[in-house]
Structure 1
Amino acid sequence: MNGPSELKPREAVRRYLDRRGTELSESSIKTYRYRLKLWVEWCEDQNIERVSDLNGWTFEQFEAFRAGQGIASPTLHGEMETLLGFIEYLERIEAVEDGLSKKVHVPSVPMSERSRDTMLVPDDALRLLRYYRSHSSVRGTRFHAVLELAWHTGARLGALRGLDLRDYYPDEQYVEFVHRPESETPLKNQMNGERTVSLLPEVVESLNTYIEKFRPDGHDDFGRSPLFVTHHGTRISKNGFRGWMYQATQPCVAGPCPHEYEKDSCEFAGSYTQGSKCPSSRSPHHIRTGSITWHRDRGFPAEVTAERVNASQEVIEQHYDKASQRERMELRRRPHLDKLRIE
């Protein structure tokens, strides 16, 4: 039987992903698989047949190859970081020499490029929510309910989609996010993502209206009763949830179109399939980003926000919090200025 040093790159990656499968979410495994697939294909093009053939020059060549393809700095950072973890695994199983992982260079990412995602601007979100709450024609609709809960909790798409009716406690005013991979609603951080999140009375009122007036009866394939149900009586899919969010955040819901389209003739307005093409509509990730920024602007401590939205303070700082330096000074630090007065 051949030893681990004889493993081909493709076989070694397969074993690595099998081991990580119990630790990572399905979406993370897919990301790792894609990144390492590029690595394996490059190794095969270079006639690298065994992992024991890897060395510092190999990693340097691969990084230069990917950088030469014009990929963004965050993308290259992510690929090399994933490769580093893979090489550390090879060290652990004694397939390569100790210390080889130290030869994998993970390039730093300029601060300006670490997160370039758009967000739902708090002013726009609050304008939409005020409209939904105050107009009976839209109050409690599925679009109102998903935006209300997403903005108030800062939760990820998967966590919101995975909610059941039993996870909503209107009398106690909170929702509970539960990791249920066996019935296809895992949380990104698995058991560490489980948490209860408190709700304001006005959010509870909005959700109650949705449940009483607009939510169809239904169950998923596992006999669970989802909070968010399609017209067909099934749990909303991830793509379906995105479609609801795009429709919920179109600015023409609550006012005139900022892009000068006529609502009656606009192909984006109120369209499930075309809603994402509206220049101002926003995805669940953009709503989460805006919500986290809003939490911090409203004075939520960093550690409280981190627990509420299930993300580390470092991740929030780098990837979600979009406040400018001026906004951080005015909204977060200036209110504390009186504490520095000398009596």
Structure 2
Amino acid sequence: MSRDLSPREARDRFLSRRKQENTEKTVRSYENRLTRFVQWAEDEGIESMSELTGWDLDEYRADREAADIAPTTLKGQLMTLKQLLDYCASIDVVDNDLPGKVNIPSLSKAEESSDVMLKPEDANALLSYFRNSNTLFGTPRHAFLEVAWHVGARMGGIRALDLRDFNPDRQTLEFRHRPPTLLKNKEDGERVVGISEPVVKALRTYIARERFDKRDEEGREPLFCGRQGRPSDTTFRAWSYMSTFPCHVTQCPHGNRRETCDYARRNHASKCPSSRSPHAIRTGSITWQLLQGLAIETVAGRVNARPETIRRHYYRASEWEEFEELRAEETLKLDIGDFDE
């Protein structure tokens, strides 16, 4: 081996390469996972990546298991560690056989799937509430929820939308990979998605009444736009949590009064046990679209995911009838207002 790196140096070098190929969110995820490993290695006195052995890797897994983390979290951390070691092997920092010594656990479908999601019946109630509200119809949180639910897109994809990507006459949203706003899977994640008339109406109202006429640093006009231009991920998360408060449509399940509840404040919205993140909305949306009878391939195209991923996480043949292939134009009728409990 011609080079040597400390665990921290190896992590930083690996992340610098990932920045050229992955979204900012993905790189942050890599960094968070690998920082756990770096801290463990430094605590163990491991100064060089070349010192690592299969025993060390097994000890690290045991340390993470002792932390009582979720099975999916453990698997993600170990898979990322293997990617780091694959990279180190490619530049002759560790032996070629070391990455294969990372013992990545196999999970059941139940362990891989998240139970936390916005349920279809809750989405129906919430969107009905916003659609019938004189004060909240067309607000950023309402428009975001309409798009997040009816498309099932990732938060980064919604953030990347420009004003020109919305075609109200054709009832479509066009997702494009335009760095620095990135799509998962890059150009392969580009697609045109049909949306129903109520979603179009909500977006029209948002654009006319609420959207700030600003450009971002690249001179583009974001579809969702605030005073400073394209909103941050933090802003989108706040809209997500605030749009899914159960107290919009029912009595607080936690015994709080909205007028005095700390969760009702923007900066504390994520702490409400019943509010939902963008990912939870996406999970619920995918499940709902499948239950509506859309083909797995159709849903996968809409949400920018592989059909096998959809099958693994959302499809249970014992519970659902075989899906029928639908024509693309039929997705224009897909709307929560037609939800039948």
TM-score (norm 1): 0.84
1:19 and 2:17 are equivalent in the alignment: yes
What is the RMSD computed on CA atoms of the aligned residues?
A: 2.7
Equivalent-residue separation in structure 1 for 2:44 and 2:297 (angstroms)? 47
Q: Which residue does 1:225 correspond to in 2?
A: 221
Q: Which residue does 1:97 correspond to in 2?
A: 95
- Select the residue among 242, 248, 252 that pairs with 2:247: 252
Q: Cα deviations across residues 110-135 of structure 1 (Å, max 9, x unaligned)? A: 44332334111101111222233344
Return the letter of the residue paired with 2:70. A
- Select the residue among 208, 213, 218 that pairs with 2:209: 213
Say if 1:180 and 1:279 are closer, same or farther in 2 by CA, change over 3 A: same
CA contact (8 A) 1:251 1:257 kept: yes
- 1:294 shift after superposition: 0.3
- 1:9 shift after superposition: 3.1
- Percent identical among aligned pairs is 45
SS in structure 2 opposite 1:140? Answer: coil
CA contact (8 A) 2:138 2:210 kept: yes
Say if 1:196 and 1:100 are closer, same or farther in 2 by CA, change over 3 A: same
- 1:141 shift after superposition: 2.4
Structure 2: 5+ residue stretches without partners: 326-341
Q: Which residue does 1:62 correspond to in 2?
A: 60
Alignment of 1:166-177 (within 5 A): 166-177=164-175
CA contact (8 A) 1:17 1:33 kept: yes
SS in structure 2 opposite 1:181? Answer: coil
Q: Cα deviations across residues 221-265 of structure 1 (Å, max 9, x unaligned)? A: 3332222223x3532221112112222222333454444544444
Higher relative contact order by CA 8 Å / sep ≥ 6: 1 or 2? Answer: 2
CA contact (8 A) 1:298 1:331 kept: no
Q: Which residue does 1:33 correspond to in 2?
A: 31
SS in structure 2 opposite 1:197? Answer: strand
1:3 and 2:2 are equivalent in the alignment: yes
Return the letter of the residue paired with 1:303. E
Alignment of 1:129-208 (within 5 A): 129-182=127-180, 185-208=181-204
Q: Which residue does 1:340 correspond to in 2?
A: none
Q: Cα deviations across residues 166-214 of structure 1 (Å, max 9, x unaligned)? A: 11111121111122323xx222332222221111222212211222233
Give the number of equivalent residue pairs: 325
SS in structure 2 opposite 1:119? Answer: coil
Structure 1: 5+ residue stretches without partners: 337-343
Say if 1:236 and 1:52 are closer, same or farther in 2 by CA, change over 3 A: closer
Rg comparison, structure with higher value: 1
CA contact (8 A) 1:173 1:199 kept: yes
Q: Which residue does 2:305 correspond to in 1?
A: 311
